[in-house]
Structure 1
Amino acid sequence: MNHTFRAPPVSASAPAAVPSAAPRLGRVAVALFLSAHPAPALAVSALITALAVAAGRDASGSCLVALALLTGQLSVGWSNDRIDIARDTAANRRDKPLVDGAVKARTVAVAACVALVLCVPLSLANGAAAGGAHLIGVAAAWSYNLGLKRTRLSWLPYAVAFGLLPAFVTLALPGHPWPAATPVVAGALLGVGAHFTNVLPDIDADLATDVRGLPQRLGRRRTRTVAAFALLAASAVLVLGPPGPPDATSWTGLVVTGILAVAVCLPLRSAPESRLPFLATLGLAGMDIALLLLHGAALG
């Protein structure tokens, strides 16, 4: 008898399941990444890591700084979107992956907790004092997400978190020196300016969902004024704060950053909800760090 081998039948759905899984996971990964507020997370991490390199941290130390900063920033970004999901949904924020269903709330919550847990040992690996300073800043950012954003003190977590970033750098150096007052004050002012430019596009939606931080209480026009003043003041502190007269390059830097500070806060009538002012603020922060390192105050 002639026996012919026949392979067992394959389910028609099986071949489609494998190739379809990878694109779906890719979409979820992209949505999760976007939920972390990647622009400020990456910008802050890169700028302060550059500051650590310039201050004398070696390659391994600079990597520790970068990883601590990045995990802290990611935890803050993910927690912000997870905590605000109801308000973002009510405001029809279709730019938020959680609102359009691209990623699940549980996934974002788990990611925020994992990032926060990782941030603790990575921060403390830079030294107890430096790590403590960074973790206080991360805690301040979480306090904003958890409720301070709805109060008149909404600016305070930004001032604390940004003001402590120079301390995170210097306290990890030999001798654990506390930073000079100039970069701390400038960092706090820059944080306040970042808060006001970040909130500016969402003021109407925030008021509709009962978020009444200081910028929402002041309104758009006064919020732009305060933001411009804080950003300009940060640059002025870096140039005028150190002893001795500023040189020509420092004055030039102050003029340029001053023009940018005012420009990022001008009303955009064609796109009042644009994120451009906040993104420009991150660029201005980079210029301030360059001003600090090249022509302004030393960290220590």
Structure 2
Amino acid sequence: MLAFSAGRDPRGCATVAAAVATGQLSVGWSNDRIDLRRDVAARRTDKPLAAGALRPGTVSLAAALALAACVPFSLANGRIAGTVHLVAVAAAWAYNLGVKRTLWSPLPYALAFGLLPAFITLALPGSPWPGRWALAAGALLGVGAHFANVLPDIEDDLGAGVRGLPQRLGAHGSRVAAGLSLAAVSVFLIFGPAGRIGSAGWAGLALSALLACAVPLASRGPRSRLPFLATLGLALLDVALLLLRGGRLT
């Protein structure tokens, strides 16, 4: 959708979809394979590998094949754009392989999400880089996504010895970080591109502020899903704003 709004033709949108799909499959499958022992210990029966429905070798092979397919699909978008996307995928693999256990856990998310607008625009004629506002918004969206993704599993992660930045900040600190990061994304997306903001932009900014406040102020009970749902709502709003601004990425 972002590629289409930025001006990519149907073939370009298809190569973007294929590159991102194979990259994400390799990242998701490798994550489950690497975390197998931890997921079994945590009784993650929602994951087929941890539940015993799949063999580890099958998942390892699937991840490797998806990663191999990601290379030509990425480069089909052009050498520069394809390399940028492969760097983003490498950042995600680095997270899986150990960065998520360190203080620097948000960095792979910031790099991978921040490069997404560049992957889209560098495949356009002339290989233009996106505006700085788009790179900043993508990076902050990644950081917010990181904190939102970790929120439901912080206690299990700590029990397994995973001490990334969200785990070190704790549930409340992570909610605050997620809310601030995603609210900042809205600011960049609304005020970054040239041109009139319009009523939709101001409405989006007001809704972003409301959701950003709801994230840390929602119920702090250990089983409460309200902060997580508010974070997801804010992230979806940011994605919608990014799509609306897709034609102005460069």
| Higher RCO (C-alpha under 8 Å, 6+ residues apart) | 2
**What TM-score, normalized to structure 2?**
0.92
Cα pair distance change 1:93/1:267, threshold 3 Å: farther
Cα pair distance change 1:267/1:103, threshold 3 Å: farther
Residue type of the alignment partner of 2:162: V
1:172 to partner: Cα distance = 0.1
Cα pair distance change 1:244/1:273, threshold 3 Å: closer
Q: Which residue of 1 aligns with 2:200?
A: 249
Structure 1 residue 62 corresponds to structure 2 residue 13:
yes
1:270 to partner: Cα distance = 7.4
Q: Choose 1 or 2 for highest CA Rg.
A: 1
Q: Which residue of 2 aligns with 1:89?
A: 40
Matched residue SS, 1:257 = helix
Structure 1 residue 110 corresponds to structure 2 residue 61:
yes
Q: Which residue of 2 aligns with 1:182?
A: 133
**What TM-score, normalized to structure 1?**
0.77
CA RMSD of superposed structures (Å): 2.0
Percent identity for Structure 1 against Structure 2: 55
Q: Which residue of 1 aligns with 2:101?
A: 150
**Among candidates 154, 159, 171, match of residue 122 of structure 2:** 171
1:277 to partner: Cα distance = 5.6
Matched residue SS, 1:271 = coil
Residue type of the alignment partner of 1:299: L
Q: Which residue of 1 aligns with 2:185?
A: 234
Gaps of 5+ in 1: 1-49
Cα pair distance change 1:260/1:158, threshold 3 Å: same
Structure 1 residue 271 corresponds to structure 2 residue 227:
no
Q: Which residue of 2 aligns with 1:220?
A: 171
CA distance in 2, matches of 1:92, 1:148: 23
Cα pair distance change 1:267/1:89, threshold 3 Å: farther
| 1:168-194 deviations in Å (ceiling 9; x for gaps) | 000000000011001110000000000
Cα pair distance change 1:254/1:278, threshold 3 Å: closer
1:92 to partner: Cα distance = 1.7
Contact 2:157–2:163, Cα closer than 8 Å, also in 1: yes
**Among candidates 28, 40, 52, match of residue 3 of structure 2:** 52
**Among candidates 30, 50, 69, match of residue 79 of structure 1:** 30
- Paired residues for 1:175-214 under 5 Å: 175-214=126-165
Residue type of the alignment partner of 2:87: I
CA distance in 2, matches of 1:233, 1:282: 11
Gaps of 5+ in 2: none
1:258 to partner: Cα distance = 3.1
Cα pair distance change 1:242/1:198, threshold 3 Å: same
CA distance in 1, matches of 2:63, 2:43: 23
